[in-house]
Structure 1
């Protein structure tokens, strides 16, 4: 997370680069998730990734999450779901990961704001509002998960990723 934040501040500054990064990340991720939800890979169904591959994936997601400025669980969760891990298993880990990496990211960006020019400090009211929304969403998700088919639960993050990636791409070219 810290490495990603430093890369973002010093190597990829500016809103245009950020929008390009987000669109390039979310559009393929969302497409892959939707395809995997509709047509799961038969040789992979039920096979969860190894602890080593999850650790390497988490490291990569931490760096990308730091560049992106978000908690890693919001990227790691959809990737694990796309790899076939049940949502009931992914959700608690993704929430814990998102909380931890968001806290580290907020502190890192706050410290970087003291040493660089430009406005890179977190907007605390926005972060707290997103956190509150995440708590409410987590509660609602836990409540509705048993009532919704697994395919719908797998399509939702993919569809949201595609819509958000598309919005960033439109902003990039407008």
Structure 2
């Protein structure tokens, strides 16, 4: 990649992370179309490149959450127990089965659009919210599915886990740091899995290291700033923002398929 492309990647990573980090989304889901359409990263190398972005960008927000005391509890462990094996499964599927990206975009779009709109409506027309958290079995099963998807398409999974858990009544302040921590661990294992698989298969399998690092350094800065903003934002604003992000991602993927 040229220095100009790396500069664009740094800027994109920073802008996306500062907006998405407060609600527990790494931003990789929005960076993926930029890498494909603007920066021209080949497939399937775009998947581990996106995972590399998460690895480098993740500590920025996580350090801030740790200083604020938000990384306690068992939610991170439950998510990691599902996403870590899932991302390895997803990497193997991506390299050897090469599933079509269009099917993924349609399914995720149709899933996230009503969920995102529902979160927005709940803020605009508040009703009595169900408190508490889903069962550990549900959380781990959800994380396994999301980890597999993340391994195939190079997304952290926070964009899917976050809206589901928040929609089930969990506070954003609890979900966001756990989702980001799980995304970081999942991406670390996923990027390593692709690096290993690149020695066994011909083609563009390994990540674009320079671009992934450039995007990740931007995300490192943006993620720290975004996590610092979170305590200053009211819960309803975070819920509404998460709903908007989920809806925007759904529309983006559906438009890509239509186009």
TM-score range, shorter chain: 0.7 to 0.9
Correspondent of 1:34 among 120, 127, 138: 120
1:66–1:105: 8 Å Cα contact kept in structure 2? Answer: yes
What's the CA shift string for 1:102-141, capped at 9, x where partnerless? 1111112223333334423322334334433443343223
Structure 2 residue 166 is matched with structure 1 residue 47: no
Name 1:9's counterpart in structure 2.
95
Name 2:212's counterpart in structure 1.
127
Runs (4+) of structure 1 moved beyond 6 Å? none
> Which segments of 5 or more consecutive residues in structure 2 lack a partner in the other structure?
1-86
Matched pairs, number: 173
The CA RMSD over aligned residues, in Å, is: 2.7
Name 1:103's counterpart in structure 2.
188
Name 2:221's counterpart in structure 1.
136
Question: Normalising to structure 1: TM-score of the pair?
Answer: 0.79
Question: Normalising to structure 2: TM-score of the pair?
Answer: 0.57
What is the alpha-carbon distance in structure 1 between the residues aligned to residue 100 and residue 202 of structure 2? 12
What is the alpha-carbon distance in structure 1 between the residues aligned to residue 143 and residue 88 of structure 2? 14
Name 1:23's counterpart in structure 2.
109
Question: Structure 1 pair 116/33, CA: closer, same or farther in 2 (3 Å)?
Answer: farther
What is the alpha-carbon distance in structure 1 between the residues aligned to residue 176 and residue 127 of structure 2? 21
> Which segments of 5 or more consecutive residues in structure 1 lack a partner in the other structure?
none
Q: Secondary structure at the match of 1:119?
A: coil
Q: Secondary structure at the match of 1:67?
A: helix
Question: Structure 1 pair 144/93, CA: closer, same or farther in 2 (3 Å)?
Answer: same
Structure 2 residue 80 is matched with structure 1 residue 80: no
Structure 2 residue 242 is matched with structure 1 residue 157: yes
